[in-house]
Homo-oligomer: A and B are copies of this chain.
Amino acid sequence: MISKKAKYAIHALVKLAREREQGPILISEISQDGNIPKKFLEAILLDLKRAGILNSKKGKGGGYYLIKKPEDVNMAEVLRLFDGALALLPCVTHKYYERCEECVDEQTCGIRQVIQLVRDETVRILKNATLATILAMENKGIDLTR
């Protein structure tokens, strides 16, 4: 399961992408719109700013806005930012790699190979899922799951 933090982040990003023509958007507006605790959201948006996805403007008429192009913000990046590795085991990640003590030979470990397959597919799908494709799906009412 992804954390609420990541989920809130995605909702905020989708909103910011959808309304990116309208200038900076207030934290309080995003908060109300998405049922997200305001203070909690502040921290999330800050993280996204530090990650170079958003920027902010203070004072009257301020707020947050997207600086990356919607097609350049993918879900793999966002989930990694808030929840760390996407893989189900530390031994199949790059950045968060950790060896399993019980593993005699990592190269032939059957469990590891299965988890690796899952990870590869997950990353592939999440990298294809950008704010642009998400918006497109919502606009066109396409339902991929049917």
Across the interface, name the chain B residue whose C-beta is closest to A129: B114
Known interface pairs A1-B90, A34-B102, A88-B2; A118-B125 also in contact (CB < 8 Å): yes
* Copies of this chain in its oligomeric complex: 2
Cβ of A101 within 8 Å of any chain B Cβ, yes or no, is: yes
Residues of B within 8 A of A118 (CB): 121-122, 125-126
On chain A, the number of residues with a Cβ less than 8 Å from chain B's Cβ atoms is 46
Across the interface, name the chain B residue whose C-beta is closest to A113: B144
Min distance, Cβ A33 to any Cβ of chain B, angstroms: 8
Pick the contact of A111 from B36, B101, B122, B134 — CB < 8 Å?
A: B134
Residues of B within 8 A of A134 (CB): 110-111, 114
Residues of B within 8 A of A36 (CB): 102
Across the interface, name the chain B residue whose C-beta is closest to A124: B121
Known interface pairs A122-B121, A143-B107, A143-B113; A7-B89 also in contact (CB < 8 Å): yes
Contacting pair B145 A113 (CB below 8 A): yes
CA distance A36 to B133 in the complex (A): 44
26 A–B contacts, CB within 8 A, in A order: A1-B85, A1-B87, A1-B88, A2-B88, A2-B89, A7-B89, A7-B111, A14-B110, A14-B111, A75-B114, A92-B145, A108-B138, A108-B143, A109-B138, A110-B137, A110-B138, A111-B134, A113-B137, A113-B142, A114-B125, A114-B129, A114-B134, A116-B145, A117-B125, A118-B126, A121-B122
